[in-house]
Amino acid sequence: MNGKPCASPGIATCWEAIDWQKALAYVKKLQVRIVKAQKEGHYSKVKSLQWLLTHSFYAKALAVKRVTSNQGKRTSGVDHELWLTPQAKWSAISKLNRRGYRPQPLRRHYIPKKNGKMRPLGIPTMTDRAMQTLYKFSLEPIAETYADPNSYGFRIGRSTHDAIEQCFTDLNKGKSPEWILEGDIKGCFDHISHEWLLENISMDTQVLEKWLKCGYVETRKLFPTDEGAPQGGTISPTLMNMTLDGLERLLQERLPTRQKVNGRTHFNKLNFVRYADDFIITGESPEFLRDKVLPVVKEFLTERGLQLSEEKTVITHIEDGFDFLGKNIRKYNGKLLIKPSKTSVKSFLEKVRSIIKGNKSTKQETLIRKLNPVIRGWMNNQQYVVSSKVFSRVDYEIYKCLWQWAKRRHKKKGRKWIAQKYWHHIGSRQWTFSVPYENQSTEGEPLYCKLEYATDTKIIRFKKIVAEANPFDEYWTDYFEEREGEKLLNSTKGREKLLTIWRRQHRRCPVCGELITSETGFKVHTPVGKNSQKIMVHKECHEEIHSLITTFEPGSR
């Protein structure tokens, strides 16, 4: 190892020997101390703790682990380097040194947006991604401490469901505001002022400036980056959040909820909800939003090099409704209902149809395994709103597409024969698109690989996070553990036994030591041997175990 690590690696002499639970505990302890020092106003101590964290062996090892276990682990930067073997990961730890560090240019890549345009991504090298993740460990505690209460995007323990539930809280009453300003920032990531970031972000400015000014490569040409935080960098979402934090507090200071007008108390009904760069602001009238709120928002953004998108920033009445984060929020005869948006339903069905049409000759079981994650993911996203009718329609549309798929395969067969081959009576559902497993049964009844149905998903009310909750503050530790248990229970459809296993493992995966949450997903694994207990592991970790010739519970999630 080059350089002396601040935290001794102990007996770890290779990647496989690292104690990940000890590493996580060490990093979390420093993050908790950073929050405590920040709240007490000991800013010099905050900087010392940040330095200690970014130079520690355990933090560097965790940074390498994070970038080599996510979806981008097989996507390289301009150097075409990947860390796929334990030896490569172990060697990578020694590369994460501040002294002599010089990031390489980003590799420019484009992905399609919903409006047909292309979104530019800047893909850093593996070393730069790991360095960004390392410094993100030290920056996140500060970001969470100063974050706006009703900001929900790219934050630990928060999701779109929290943002939608806050919208319901702000708009569902009879005296709730009726006018909404839908805001959208034009190219937020691409236009953040570098000068503002360097003056206001509490981290090593020399390292930050190197990332901001490293440029990008496109068509073998190097282009400079004079503004923006590149989409694709692991630290960019945190930088974006810190850039926009303060807008909610500024609005409340400039436009207090209660004002005295001609001796009478006047309420402006101002509420603010933000998810990443999309936000809504409520108000008593369109004039209030246009003449008083908009100027404050524009002033705030201009200071940071940003501006609103004119075409996407509109003022809407609640009875006309508006789309926000894949949901449609609207009042019907005075009653607020939140439903899946038409755009969300349409894009979901298009994706399902493309999978079915792209697998015309594949086996039924293979098709089901490709469809189920897509269907399950969309259902989980929509199960907290008024979705029953939409779920019924979705199931019918998928059935029609699958019927055409089956008919095409057997043009000379009748409807009854096709139905009996591909659909079976399972439980209370007469028509279940399924296929029996070979040589597998329970008490004489065959086991089936079956399609997920949206109407089997229970509609439940989402419990919103407490606005002040900070995952790096010791005061909120028990709250986050209890909350994650509730979310995991919902994701397991109320199976208490799984929750018992999860708590027995202290909420962590025995393979990698990382937390198991409803977002990370999990598998149930049964080790070989007598009296062996079932364990919960991450899906990626389960694949590693399975590659070593182990058995697992059939049908486990």
The pTM score is 0.86
With b for 16 or more beta-carbon neighbours within 10 A and e for fewer, the 72-84 pattern comes to ebeebbbeeeebe
Claim to verify: residue 355 and residue 404 sit in the same structural domain: yes
**Looking at the domain assignment, is residue 27 inside a domain?**
no
**Looking at the domain assignment, is residue 402 inside a domain?**
yes
How many domains does the chain divide into? Answer: 2
**Angstrom distance (rounded) from CA 428 to CA 23:** 48
pLDDT on residue 10: 58
**Looking at the domain assignment, is residue 305 inside a domain?**
no
**Angstrom distance (rounded) from CA 139 to CA 471:** 13
Claim to verify: residue 395 and residue 426 sit in the same structural domain: yes
**Angstrom distance (rounded) from CA 292 to CA 276:** 23
Q: Of 393, 424, 456, which residue constitutes the final position of a domain?
A: 456
Q: Of 410, 428, 456, which residue constitutes the final position of a domain?
A: 456
**Looking at the domain assignment, is residue 75 inside a domain?**
no
Claim to verify: residue 349 and residue 439 sit in the same structural domain: yes
The 8-class DSSP code of residue 207 comes to H
**Looking at the domain assignment, is residue 209 inside a domain?**
no
Q: Give CA separation, 282 vs 175, 273, 315, in Å.
A: 12, 9, 9
Claim to verify: residue 446 and residue 486 sit in the same structural domain: no
Residues of the domain holding 389: 342-456
Contacts of 389 (CB under 8 A, 6+ apart): none
pLDDT on residue 504: 84
Rg of the chain in Å (alpha carbons): 26
**Looking at the domain assignment, is residue 415 inside a domain?**
yes
Claim to verify: residue 350 and residue 451 sit in the same structural domain: yes
The crossing angle, in degrees rounded to 10, of helices 126-146 and 20-40 is 40
248's tokens = 């909610």
Segments of the chain scoring below 50 in pLDDT:
1-9, 549-557
pLDDT on residue 150: 96
Claim to verify: residue 479 and residue 422 sit in the same structural domain: no
Claim to verify: residue 389 and residue 348 sit in the same structural domain: yes
Q: Give CA separation, 247 vs 34, 243, 280, 442, 497, in Å.
A: 24, 9, 12, 59, 44
**Looking at the domain assignment, is residue 93 inside a domain?**
no
**Angstrom distance (rounded) from CA 338 to CA 325:** 11
Q: Of 456, 490, 509, which residue constitutes the final position of a domain?
A: 456
Give SS3 for 437. strand
Instruction: Evaluate the CA torsion angle 77, 80, 83, 84 in order and state its sign.
Output: positive
Claim to verify: residue 478 and residue 448 sit in the same structural domain: no
Asked if 534 contacts 524 with a C-beta cutoff of 8 angstroms, the reply is yes
Claim to verify: residue 397 and residue 494 sit in the same structural domain: no
Claim to verify: residue 496 and residue 431 sit in the same structural domain: no
Start-to-end C-alpha separation, the chain? 40
Claim to verify: residue 451 and residue 479 sit in the same structural domain: no
pLDDT on residue 547: 60
Claim to verify: residue 479 and residue 452 sit in the same structural domain: no
pLDDT on residue 531: 64
The crossing angle, in degrees rounded to 10, of helices 388-409 and 415-422 is 110
The crossing angle, in degrees rounded to 10, of helices 126-146 and 205-212 is 120
Tell me the Ramachandran region of residue 513: left when phi exceeds 0, alpha when psi lies from -120 to 50, beta otherwise: left
pLDDT on residue 4: 44
**Looking at the domain assignment, is residue 3 inside a domain?**
no
Strand partners of residue 446: 441
